[in-house]
Amino acid sequence: MTAAADAEGRMLVRRAKAKNPDSFVVVTGCLAQDRPEEMAALPGVDLVVGNAGKSRLLAKILQAHPNPRGLDHDHLSPVAFPLSPWLDGISRFDGHQRATVKAQDGCHFGCSFCLIPRVRGEMVSRPGLEIVEEARRLAQNDVKELVLAGIQLSSYGRDWALKAGEPRLAPVVEKLLGIPGIRRVRLSSYAVADFEESLLPLWESKSGLCPHLHLPLQSGDEGVLRAMRRPYTLDHYRATVEKVREAAPGVGLTSDIIAGFPGETDEAFGNTLQRIREFGFVDFHPFPYSDRPGTPGEKMAPKIPPAVVRERMNRLLDLKGECLVRSAQKALGKEYRVIVERNGKGLQAGLSDEGLRLVFPEREGWLGKETRVKVIGTRDSAAWAEWV
């Protein structure tokens, strides 16, 4: 939950109502949980449902709007359309061969800048059988790539009575890869804390688990990491990267970095730049730090002046560009199988198995479909590819 995500959420509400004035707009998720009154006051919002009420979302909509246009009450009754906290029942992402499947929710850590433990509650893992069932339905609808998602995916299964080191997510991934039609499984954001060693053989054996790991680092300075209350040290992070690189030498690492956390000195920021280079990220997302009301970070000092945060963000964006150009140069001449995504400006894009974003000229009718592209150069700090 960042300030940028907040702003995007508000913009989506405005856009939904502007596009269809008759629409019934429901705001749900973390913002709705944390600031329900503020969300309800947004022009165009008809209903606000916090995270806790999401499993009964449909019932709440029907209650608030007894005769919503286009909805058939009998068809949507809880009997015909069973609801679970995991929004069970999704069986297709129209026209898209990649689908996201939620495996876990909540977080049992307490980073000082983060609202998630407060708004999403305790860590809870979705039973493997449910995940596999949903994946089967998706595969029957032509989905070829699954993205396993969660708030703190590396903690999957930690809420079960398992012994330390016992496999948690790995057996689920193996089952998913055994479903006819599913070619690969990608982990969304993963973490160093609670890292599951039993995933390593899956990368080693090239099982179909994408060699791409998004491991948020947030800062490359030990003191800042401590102030952020991140559940790892730099040594721990480094050791995890080494283990993964040993199992999958070509693995693509991506990350998140926060600029301007309270107390971040020039030296600490310099350490972050060095660590980004050391870990050789394919790409990373830089975020300017902003206080989240009610978090320990809000009370931390000294705050970094906005002009300094902007300057650090610019340096991070320059470094991000360098990382992307270096990764694109390494990929030059290679062919990749990608699912075609939107890019805008007459272009489309796709993510390589290693997490490198490839950009290529748009072709009508291909959105969401699988294709092969070949990297032929770099353009605007991205890997520039052509259709094969």
Residues lying near ligand SF4 in the complex (CB under 6 A): 107, 109-111, 114, 116-117, 151-152
Q: What number of other Cβ atoms are within 10 A of residue 383's Cβ?
A: 29
CB 313 → ligand SF4: shortest distance, Å? 19
One DSSP character per residue, 249-275 reads: TTPEEEEEEEE--TT--HHHHHHHHHH
CB 217 → ligand SF4: shortest distance, Å? 12
CB 231 → ligand SF4: shortest distance, Å? 6
CB 107 → ligand SF4: shortest distance, Å? 3
- H/E stretch holding 105 reads strand 104-105
Residue number with CB closer to ligand SF4 (152 or 352): 152
Alpha carbons 244 and 105: distance in angstroms, whole number:
24
Cβ–Cβ under 8 Å, residues 196 and 170: yes
Task: Return the closest-CA partner of residue 269 out of 325, 233, 218.
Answer: 218
Residue number with CB closer to ligand SF4 (117 or 128): 117
CB 196 → ligand SF4: shortest distance, Å? 15
Residue number with CB closer to ligand SF4 (222 or 335): 222
Alpha carbons 113 and 135: distance in angstroms, whole number:
34
Residue number with CB closer to ligand SF4 (32 or 151): 151
Residue number with CB closer to ligand SF4 (97 or 112): 112
Alpha carbons 363 and 383: distance in angstroms, whole number:
18
Burial of 321 (0-12, 13-18, 19+ CB in 10 A): middle
φ, ψ (nearest 5 deg) of residue 327: -65, -40
Residue number with CB closer to ligand SF4 (46 or 298): 298
**CA distances for 86 relative to 15, 80, 130, 134, 212, angstroms:** 27, 17, 9, 10, 25
CB 152 → ligand SF4: shortest distance, Å? 5
Residue number with CB closer to ligand SF4 (111 or 209): 111
241: helix, coil or strand?
Answer: helix
> Per the omega criterion (within 30 degrees of 0), is the bond before 302 cis?
yes
Task: Return the closest-CA partner of residue 128 out of 82, 75, 174.
Answer: 174
Cβ–Cβ under 8 Å, residues 374 and 388: yes
Residue number with CB closer to ligand SF4 (97 or 152): 152
CB 273 → ligand SF4: shortest distance, Å? 21
Alpha carbons 215 and 192: distance in angstroms, whole number:
7
CB 116 → ligand SF4: shortest distance, Å? 4
